[in-house]
Amino acid sequence: MPFSNFISFLELEKKYSVHTVKAYKSDLESFFEYASEVYKYTDIKNVHYSIVRSWIVFLVETGISNRSINRKISSLKTYYKFLLKTEQIKVNPLSKHKALKTSKKLQVPFSEKEITNVLELLQEEKDFKNVRNKLIVELLYSTGIRRAELVNLKLSDVSLSKKTIKVLGKRNKERIIPLISVVTETIHEYLYYRKDLEMIKDNDFLFLSSKGVKIYETLVYRVINKYFGKASEKVKKSPHILRHSFATHLLNEGADLKAVKELLGHSSLASTQVYTHNSIAKLKQVYKNSHPRNLK
């Protein structure tokens, strides 16, 4: 593989997830295949930007979205930065590249009523699976953690006395998130049912399947999709929408943007600002109802 050292760098030094490394590898292989077939390159280290631009045109013509193309080019950029840093090249061919314009997708959060309805559905039956699923919904909504972060939570990460959880986020960044009382009560309830499982193989992890093994990300998606499918007409029903709802509802109630950023584990404020668009409607209503020139 012509970029095996780069893949090792992503895995060992950057400590990217298996999924992320796989995406980088796929993007590089795709470009290498194009450059070798169309331009007979046997080594993509010293390609000219015109080759990259030609690949972009090819991708556009195949109908791939600008967002996906930008992700692929971002993988290339990271690769050439690595080559520059390790002195394998002298010039980065993508140094002046500008990303393609993309339309911002506005993701509609669940309403508070929809979330309440789901939690009421999960309250109907008391057994291991239902209590676990209820805790999944409550934790995602009350903390804003990512699906992967929830799956990887360990029992040792939960402090019921301090009412906090310790989360290992992207790039191995740790953050402490407070828990509200209703969630700690559900954790107590879940642990009561958890201890009675016939066999526990992955005891270190908080969330287990009924077979006693660590749950997986697809299971979390199915839980959210299943129950919100009964309570919401929204097209997209995923764990990320609960994270979106967490941030939007906090901002609607006047939470500080920087505080929400820390809770979400974002590295920059710009990442958190995408959640503010849903707060504008409420701000407009407050403005309309409060401004003296609009009062009758």
Per annotation, catalytic residue among 132, 134, 146, 249: 146
Taking a C-beta distance cutoff of 8 angstroms, is the pair 140, 119 a contact?
no
275 is catalytic: yes
- Average pLDDT for residues 270-292, to the nearest whole number? 63
Hey, what are 204's tokens? 């270190």
pTM of the model: 0.65
The one catalytic residue in 154, 163, 240, 282 is 240
Q: What is the DSSP letter of 211?
A: T
**170 included as an active-site residue:** yes
Highest mean pLDDT among 4-8, 60-64, 185-189: 185-189
**Please, which pLDDT band fits residue 41 given cuts at 50, 70 and 90?**
confident
Tokens 């690949």 map to which residue? 55
266 carries an active-site annotation: yes
**Nearest alpha-carbon partner for 51 in 88, 82, 76:** 76
The one catalytic residue in 141, 190, 227, 275 is 275
Provide the pLDDT for residue 51: 93
CB distance 143 to 263 below 8 Å: yes
Active site residue 16: no
194, 214, 243, 249: the catalytic one is 243
Q: Examine the residue annotation and report whether 192 is marked as an active-site residue of this protein.
A: no
Reported as a single tens digit per residue, the pLDDT across 145-186 is 999 999 999 999 999 999 999 999 888 889 999 999 999 999
Q: Domains in the chain and their CATH numbers? A: 4-85 (1.10.150), 112-286 (1.10.443.10)
Which residue would you say has higher pLDDT here, 233 or 113?
A: 113
Q: Which of 81, 163, 166, 170 is catalytic?
A: 170
Residues 6+ apart with CB under 8 A from 231: 114, 117, 118, 121
Which residue from 128, 133, 29, 124 is spatially nearest to 79, judged by alpha carbons?
Answer: 29
Beta bridge partners of 7: none
